[in-house]
Structure 1
């Protein structure tokens, strides 16, 4: 699996987790939503990082 593929999978899972947090509501839902949003941001930032070939 390539580096960008992994990054997109992480971002996609972040979307799923964010949607779960959105529907739970309350403080727990806000925490889950933030956790998912962090995964989206970090996954998309990882796609912009240059890859290193070994």
Structure 2
């Protein structure tokens, strides 16, 4: 399995769940979860590009 694929997929799932909760009363928590997921996507993508 390629290095960086797991963080990228995990970040996508976490970002989607954070975006789903943006319309609820937990908007601040949802924003944090969304940012955490997007950070995983970016770092995983960097790993994928770096280890071709």
* Structure 1 portions without partners, runs of 5+: none
- State the partner residue of 1:9: 6
Instruction: State the superposition RMSD in angstroms.
Output: 1.6
Aligned residues: 48
Q: TM-score if structure 1 supplies the norm length? A: 0.77
- Highest relative contact order (Cα 8 Å, sep 6+), 1 or 2? 2
